Amino acid sequence: MYAGMYHTHAASWLILVILFVICYFIPKNKVLPMILRLFYLVMIVTGGYMLFTGGVSGVFHLKALCAILLIGMMEMVLARRKKGKNALPFLIALIVLLVVVVLIGYDVISF
């Protein structure tokens, strides 16, 4: 079961990033942000399952926190872009968080 959740989680991250980029460049679309939010839920459920049943180290708790913040940054960037406001600070934070989450997920960052 854990392996299935892991692969679903990894695939949902990839789809999540692709959908975010599409939503960023097509801000008037209404369906894609809803699909993006569905993948937020898939990612949270699969990540939560792995976090609480996998016996992972403390660094993955940091990854979970960064992932939740990353979702918030994605929503902030899309909302500010849609309203025509400056989204650059949130976009920079999003990129930094995305790099941290991916590096922790692939055990490049561990302590």
Residue 96 lies in a domain: yes
Number of domains in the chain: 1
The model's pTM: 0.91
What is the extent of the structural domain holding 34? 2-105
What are the DSSP calls for 15-55, one per residue? HHHHHHHHHHH-TT-SHHHHHHHHHHHHHHHHHHHHHHHTT
Tell me which residue of 11, 33, 9 sits closest to 21, measured CA to CA. 33
Residue 76 lies in a domain: yes
Residue 110 lies in a domain: no
Residue 33 lies in a domain: yes
The answer, yes or no, to whether residue 107 has pLDDT greater than 90, is no
Residue 111 lies in a domain: no
Residue 46 lies in a domain: yes
Residue 51 lies in a domain: yes
Using one digit for the tens of pLDDT, what is the confidence trace for 26-51?
999 999 999 999 999 999 999 999 99
